[in-house]
Structure 1
Amino acid sequence: MNTNALRTLEARFREQIAAACESGAVPGFVAGVHHAGEQVVVAHGTANLATGAPMREDTGFLFGSVTKVLTTTLVLQQVERGTLDLDAPVVRYLPEFALAVPGAADKILVRHLISHTNGIDADLYFPDAKGRDALKTYVAGLADGHGTLFEPGERLSYSNGGMIVAGRLLEAVTGLSFPGLLQRDVYGPAGMKDSSTSAEQAILRSTAVGHFPGPDTMPETVPETVPETVPETVRLRPTGMFTLPDTWGPAGGTPIGTVADLLAFGRTHLAGGVSPTGARVLSAASTELMRRVSYDMASPNVPPMGLGWVLYPFGGTTVLAMSGASPGGVSLLCVVPEHDLVLAAYGNTPGALMLQDQLLRQLLSEHLGVAIPTLVSQVRQDVDLTPYAGTYRSDQLRIDVSVVDGQLEERTTYEPADASQERIFTAFAGGATSAPPQRYVPVGPGLFAPAGHPLETFDGYLRLLLVSYHDVRDGQARFRNGGGRLTRRA
């Protein structure tokens, strides 16, 4: 991409981002692209509706689960230094690590933590602890009622718990706190000069906060065609909780930075582990290992998993990606090694992921010439729906699936373990403890799409909205996968 092409891209991004913000769908949005030595950053809208502070190119935001790639980078640094072995049991380094099922934790290897193949059933476990012992508190709590969804290495399920255990593991072998280690071994050498790990640090500079639909609001979407005027019914309110507890730091609860910081981190992985500052953050072999498929469910809605990175296939092009939800916001980091490109973006309402998907697909197809294949092509009329009906559960989550009018209907309910879990989860989710019933139509064997959406919606990043069912035995599916997360038939 030459300079003129990048400037054309910048102008197009600026137009789309402004339209989304001015429609009322997203209060503020910031995105940046680095390609072949050139870089642009575009920002528009409002960082905080309560204060009216503008979203600027250097406004900070919560990385959310993008942090998982940073945590994985830290783990592989320790592997390179000989303090960790990917194929060693976690309990070798963290003997206090235990789960509710006796002996289950002993089978989990270091590798399983960062490849989301550990099976730890704790994806919505939010112990409320702060400070130096926060991760120790998290690990201690796993033995009290948290089991496994599957045997380690047997399946893939997006795992916050695995990454948090990895963070505690890092503390155990280095003697440093996770925030201190992140600052020393990633932020510093990668040139992430505006990144921090706490609200106390973030308040000292421009920082965005998330927003949720308020009372009487319309469903939050980013329409393909933005209306000329903002409907009065579109209302958003700032989140009442800025970050998740410190216990969630390694999974994405507390790290904060800018688009330029994420671009610098992405460029480090483009360059085989050498940062824009010239410092080596990771070896070329380790960066390559992170890109290698660790597990592939061979299901269109669940891209193959590397170490840390999710490996999105777009035809012959692989996009290394991770998105990150925070209270009322969503970030995205994509690295495209074949085209020497990094995309980073943040929007301060959950629906901003739709705009991020539009920008990514436009970037791939129009500016890189990448053909985006059709993922699902038709609604199937010949699928027996009965194997999928039933109740599926994981940590504090229940999904009831029934057959209604030739479609699947899902009812999702959060079932808090105690008042503290309910308080944190509902603040993270903007006050909701259950979702409205959602209908799904069959689009492939064991694969379903949300009803009412054009099927091309799911060709890009939003393939995660598809739902799949797995391991049908005796006429019943044992697992449901939505958003990369497994729930197991009750």
Structure 2
Amino acid sequence: MNDNALHTVEARIRQQAAAFCESGNVPGFVAGVHHAGEQTVVAHGTANVATGAPMREDTGFLLGSVTKVLTTTLVLRQVDRGLLDLDTPVVTYLPEFALTVPGAADKILVRHLISHTNGIDADLFFPHDKGRDALKSYVNGLASSCGSLFEPGEQLSYSNGGMIVAGRLLEVVTGTPFHDLLAREIYAPVGMKDSSTSAEQAILRSTAIGHFPDPETMAAKPTGMFMLPDTWGPAGSTPIGTIADLLAFGRTHLAGGVSPSGTRVLSAASTALMQQVSHDMQTPNVPPMGLGWVRYPFGDTAVLAMSGASPGGVSILCVVPEHDLVFTAYGNTPGAIMLQDQILQWLLSEHLGVQIPTLVTAAGQDVDLTPYAGTYRSDQLRIDVSIVDGQLEERTTYEPADASQERIFTEFAGGTTSAPPQRYVPIRPGLFAPAGYPPESFDGYLRLLLVSYHDIRDGQARFRNGGGRLARRA
């Protein structure tokens, strides 16, 4: 990439960030692109409205679920060493791993944990423990609190629980606490020199905090909770890094597992395995899954991606192997995901010349809605689906397990855990789009807003998938 092309990318991101942040009440945004040996980082706005601290190019932020790709990389490092085998049951290494459904945990293989095909129904299970035994406590709590959504390998459902179990598995087979392992085996060899895993470390340098829109004024107000509990570390609650750090990590996966400094972090075979399709639900709202990476198809181009929600913020990391490009960004309100999607699509279509096809065309005609109506459940969530005026109407209810988990989830969600009913229009049998959105809305990252239904038996769908997460018919 020549300097002129890099300058164009930088100017475009700067322009898009300024316009979006002003119109969307996003206090601050920071993004970076590495392409063909050149790199740029752009920062805009404010990192913390309570202090007025500026968002700088080297400002740190919570990685959120981008951490899942780091956790998966750690698992594959142990596979390279012979400490783990992907096709061995987790209980072989972690005998205490159990779920409320007898025998369900015994069938889960190591690969199911990192391919989101494990079926662990624990997406909102938030035990509040700190310190070195946090992951041990989480795994112990699963046995009495969380069941199974499906048989391992049968379906795909985005799994925080699977990644947290993988983190505990790493602790057991290496004898090293997860945070120490992350620092030693990812941060150091990759060159993520400004990354950390605690608020105590983050406060020593420039670090952004999240914000939520005030319900009355819509102005951004600071989050009341910086990070989720330590129990969610491997899924993304605690790691903090910078744009430069994530670009270095993305470049390591571009280069077959070799970091920018020349250190081999992962074998070429394991790096390639992470990028290959491990499960495909054959529906546009659930992109094919690799190991750790989600494989977003933009026409014939695969974008390896993971986004990461934190309290009042959202990060993203995208790697485009066939074009030697890494894009990463963070915005400090949840709505910044829209800006990240805009920039990604511009980079693909305008900068790289990728043809982005339309995923969703006109609404489907004469689709029988009766197989989809009913009640679906997953961990602490209930979704009631009814037929209204030729559309599906969904009502989602949060049903907290206890007061502690309710407090954590409420703070994570910015105080709002209930939503008004949402109408969906049929696209084709089994696939629905939220009413009122233009079809082109779903061509990029926001295809996750589509809802699909799966495994119809006796005229009824067994599963609903929204945002990559399954709920099972009650």
Normalised to the residue count of structure 2, the TM-score between the two structures is 0.99
How many Å separate the matches in 1 of 2:407 and 2:4? 50
How many Å separate the matches in 1 of 2:432 and 2:396? 16
How many Å separate the matches in 1 of 2:96 and 2:265? 30
Of 29-38 and 406-415, more deviation after overlay is shown by 406-415
1:358 to 342, 345, 351: 342
How many Å separate the matches in 2 of 1:149 and 1:483? 16
**Which residue does the alignment assign to 1:154?**
154
Task: Using the TM superposition, give the Cα deviation of residue 437 of structure 1 relative to its aligned residue in structure 2, in angstroms.
Answer: 1.0
Of 382-391 and 250-259, more deviation after overlay is shown by 382-391
Q: Equivalences for 1:423-442 in 2 at 5 Å? A: 423-442=407-426
**Which residue does the alignment assign to 1:224?**
none
Task: Using the TM superposition, give the Cα deviation of residue 252 of structure 1 relative to its aligned residue in structure 2, in angstroms.
Answer: 0.3
2:292 to 287, 303, 308: 308
1:335-367 Cα offsets, whole Å, 9 max, x none, are 000000000000001110000000000000000
**Which residue does the alignment assign to 1:52?**
52
Of 291-300 and 467-476, more deviation after overlay is shown by 467-476
How many Å separate the matches in 2 of 1:296 and 1:423? 35
**Which residue does the alignment assign to 1:247?**
231
**Which residue does the alignment assign to 2:356?**
372
How many Å separate the matches in 2 of 1:145 and 1:243? 23
**Which residue does the alignment assign to 1:220?**
none
1:455-475 Cα offsets, whole Å, 9 max, x none, are 000001110110001111111
For the 8 Å contact 2:25–2:213, the answer to whether it is kept is no
**Which residue does the alignment assign to 1:444?**
428
1:261 to 237, 245, 248: 245
How many Å separate the matches in 1 of 2:468 and 2:372? 17
**Which residue does the alignment assign to 1:221?**
none
1:292-340 Cα offsets, whole Å, 9 max, x none, are 1100000010000000000011111100000000001100000000000
**Which residue does the alignment assign to 2:279?**
295
Secondary structure at 1:39's aligned position in 2? strand
How many Å separate the matches in 1 of 2:266 and 2:61? 25
How many Å separate the matches in 1 of 2:428 and 2:304? 25
**Which residue does the alignment assign to 2:129?**
129
How many Å separate the matches in 1 of 2:292 and 2:12? 31
How many Å separate the matches in 2 of 1:411 and 1:18? 35
For 1:476, the aligned partner's letter is Q
For 1:427, the aligned partner's letter is E
1:2-40 Cα offsets, whole Å, 9 max, x none, are 221111111011011011122243110000000010000
**Which residue does the alignment assign to 2:461?**
477
Secondary structure at 1:388's aligned position in 2? coil
1:252-286 Cα offsets, whole Å, 9 max, x none, are 01000001100000000000000011111001101
**Which residue does the alignment assign to 1:22?**
22
For the 8 Å contact 1:24–1:235, the answer to whether it is kept is no
Q: Equivalences for 1:82-231 in 2 at 5 Å? A: 82-216=82-216
How many Å separate the matches in 2 of 1:267 and 1:77? 17
How many Å separate the matches in 2 of 1:175 and 1:115? 24
**Which residue does the alignment assign to 1:61?**
61
How many Å separate the matches in 2 of 1:7 and 1:206? 26
How many Å separate the matches in 1 of 2:245 and 2:421? 39
Task: Using the TM superposition, give the Cα deviation of residue 206 of structure 1 relative to its aligned residue in structure 2, in angstroms.
Answer: 0.6
For the 8 Å contact 1:24–1:234, the answer to whether it is kept is no
**Which residue does the alignment assign to 1:319?**
303
For the 8 Å contact 2:259–2:265, the answer to whether it is kept is yes
How many Å separate the matches in 1 of 2:26 and 2:420? 22
Task: Using the TM superposition, give the Cα deviation of residue 440 of structure 1 relative to its aligned residue in structure 2, in angstroms.
Answer: 0.8
Secondary structure at 1:113's aligned position in 2? helix
Of 438-447 and 300-309, more deviation after overlay is shown by 438-447
Task: Give the unaligned 5+ runs of structure 1.
Answer: 217-232
For 2:262, the aligned partner's letter is G
2:392 to 405, 408, 420: 408
2:313 to 312, 321, 329: 329
How many Å separate the matches in 2 of 1:442 and 1:6? 42
Secondary structure at 2:232's aligned position in 1? helix
Question: How many matched pairs?
Answer: 474
| Alignment of 1:458 onto 2:447 | no
Task: Give the unaligned 5+ runs of structure 2.
Answer: none
How many Å separate the matches in 1 of 2:288 and 2:95? 31
How many Å separate the matches in 2 of 1:108 and 1:211? 37
How many Å separate the matches in 1 of 2:8 and 2:134? 46
How many Å separate the matches in 2 of 1:175 and 1:313? 38
How many Å separate the matches in 2 of 1:215 and 1:297? 37
Secondary structure at 2:303's aligned position in 1? strand
Secondary structure at 1:144's aligned position in 2? helix
Task: Using the TM superposition, give the Cα deviation of residue 386 of structure 1 relative to its aligned residue in structure 2, in angstroms.
Answer: 1.4
How many Å separate the matches in 2 of 1:458 and 1:25? 23
How many Å separate the matches in 2 of 1:130 and 1:482? 31
For 2:127, the aligned partner's letter is P
For the 8 Å contact 2:368–2:429, the answer to whether it is kept is no
**Which residue does the alignment assign to 2:406?**
422
Task: Using the TM superposition, give the Cα deviation of residue 381 of structure 1 relative to its aligned residue in structure 2, in angstroms.
Answer: 2.5
Of 437-446 and 28-37, more deviation after overlay is shown by 437-446
How many Å separate the matches in 2 of 1:439 and 1:53? 40
For the 8 Å contact 2:24–2:335, the answer to whether it is kept is no
2:266 to 270, 282, 289: 282
For the 8 Å contact 1:22–1:45, the answer to whether it is kept is no
1:189-238 Cα offsets, whole Å, 9 max, x none, are 0000000001111011111111111131xxxxxxxxxxxxxxxx431211
For the 8 Å contact 1:194–1:261, the answer to whether it is kept is yes
For the 8 Å contact 1:45–1:55, the answer to whether it is kept is yes
Secondary structure at 1:386's aligned position in 2? coil
How many Å separate the matches in 2 of 1:257 and 1:281? 18
For the 8 Å contact 1:267–1:276, the answer to whether it is kept is yes
Task: Using the TM superposition, give the Cα deviation of residue 137 of structure 1 relative to its aligned residue in structure 2, in angstroms.
Answer: 0.2
